[in-house]
Structure 1
Amino acid sequence: MAQNKLHVKKGDMVVVISGKDKGKKGKVLQAFPKEGKVIVEGVNIVTKHRKATSPQKPGGIIHQEAPIYSSKVMLYCENCGRGVRYGVKVLENGEKIRYCKRCNETL
């Protein structure tokens, strides 16, 4: 069952909380809300064998990031130095901001 809303967005710093890359930090490069997955920089590296499509585009072995489930990542708080839960505050002007539940700093 896919969820349509993720707790992380493109550009967020996250830390992996489970799996083979547990403890790694990285930036969310892409989010897939319908699948409930995200691509994190430097996490879940897979090897692809590419065939040469033209003389200008040679083939070879390419290492790239693959999607992981969003439930395996937590937002990273620079102030706390770890993965944290977050809350949402609504400012007077109606703008929503996310804040760290541990230290109350804006994420």
Structure 2
Amino acid sequence: MRIKKGDRVKVITGAYKGTIGEVTSVYPKEDKVIVEGVNMVKKHQKPTQANPDGGIIEKEAKIHVSNVMLWDEKSKKASRIKMEVKEDGTKVRVYKTSGKEVKVK
């Protein structure tokens, strides 16, 4: 999977289409990610010692990685990426739209 935690992505399909957010969690075995502010669901929570009131909380749910694309700040577009090998032998991710290296926060 070419998307990592901390990447800025744009949702390209579904109810949240067009939303840009940061990846907070990555699940490579499931090919899913959690994006900040996307795919919000309501979860009913029983009272616990930590949360004695319980209640309904709203949180982000997983979204399939095929429904997001990396956001290129330079060209202001969603972009595919390619892998390149530097002179020192390290692999880097590069945006196809601008040719710039993907920086991880």
* Separation (CA, whole Å) in 2 of partners of 1:44 and 1:79: 26
Distance in 2 between the 1:87 and 1:35 partners?
A: 22
Q: Does 1:28 align with 2:23?
A: yes
Deviation at 1:81, TM superposition (A): 0.9
Report deviation, 1:92.
1.1
Cα deviation 1:21-62 (Å, max 9, x = unaligned)? 0000111111111111111111000011111113x5131211
Distance 1:46 1:82 in 2: 27
Instruction: Give the alignment of 1:66-105 within 5 angstroms.
Output: 66-105=61-100
Aligned mates of 1:15, 1:93 — CA distance in 2: 31
5+ long unaligned stretches in structure 2: none
- After TM superposition, give the deviation of residue 13 of structure 1 in Å: 0.7
RMSD: 1.1
When the two structures are superposed, what TM-score results if normalisation uses the length of structure 1? 0.89
Deviation readout 1:61-96 (Å, 9 max, x if unpaired): 111000011000001100011210111111111111
Measure the CA separation in 1 of the matches of 2:67 and 2:94.
20
TM-score of the aligned structures, taking structure 2 as reference length: 0.90
User: Equivalent of 1:39, from 29, 34, 56?
Assistant: 34
